[in-house]
């Protein structure tokens, strides 16, 4: 019973994040920057030579890693973008939502460039 409630809470957290209902601060700094950086660090270390040296189990684990990383990145980009769209700046304050969107767009372009490089 408790596990089922915990699963519903986790699902609600992901759903709220996907819909942009999480604050921009949490979305950008926790979901996008910290967790996103931790998840993508291995992708910067993995080289073609490293992949060539992997056995079957290593290739399966690498495949599973990418199967988790890319959906998370999609979640992080979309959720953070939507949080930035929902951000309402105070009077005469910079629009941090716009700044976050510019950073996300530049980051996505860099990621696409690195993917096809």
CA distance linking residue 43 with residue 35, whole number of Å: 14
Let me know if 24 is exposed, middle or buried by CB neighbors in 10 A (0-12, 13-18, 19+): buried
- How much is the pLDDT for 111? 87
CA distance linking residue 22 with residue 65, whole number of Å: 26
pLDDT band at 1 (very low <50, low <70, confident <90, very high): low
pLDDT digits (tens, 9 = 90+) for 63-94: 999 999 999 999 999 999 999 999 887 777 77
- How much is the pLDDT for 43? 85
**Range of weakest confidence among 4-8, 18-22, 27-31, 105-109:** 4-8
pLDDT digits (tens, 9 = 90+) for 20-59: 999 999 999 999 999 999 999 988 888 878 888 888 898 8
Residue 103, token pair as written in the block: 């950073």
CA distance linking residue 97 with residue 100, whole number of Å: 5
This prediction's pTM: 0.84
């Amino acid at each position: 019973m408790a596990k089922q409630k915990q699963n519903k809470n986790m699902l609600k957290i992901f759903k709220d994040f996907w819909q942009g209902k999480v604050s921009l601060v949490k979305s950008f700094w926790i979901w996008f920057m910290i967790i996103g950086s931790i998840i993508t660090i291995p992708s910067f270390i993995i080289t073609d030579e490293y992949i060539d040296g992997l056995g079957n189990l290593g290739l399966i684990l690498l495949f599973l890693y990418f199967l988790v990383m890319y959906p998370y990145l999609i979640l992080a980009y979309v959720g953070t973008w939507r949080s930035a769209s929902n951000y309402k700046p105070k009077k005469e304050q910079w629009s941090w939502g716009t700044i976050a969107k510019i950073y996300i767009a530049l980051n996505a372009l860099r990621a696409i460039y690195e993917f096809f490089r």
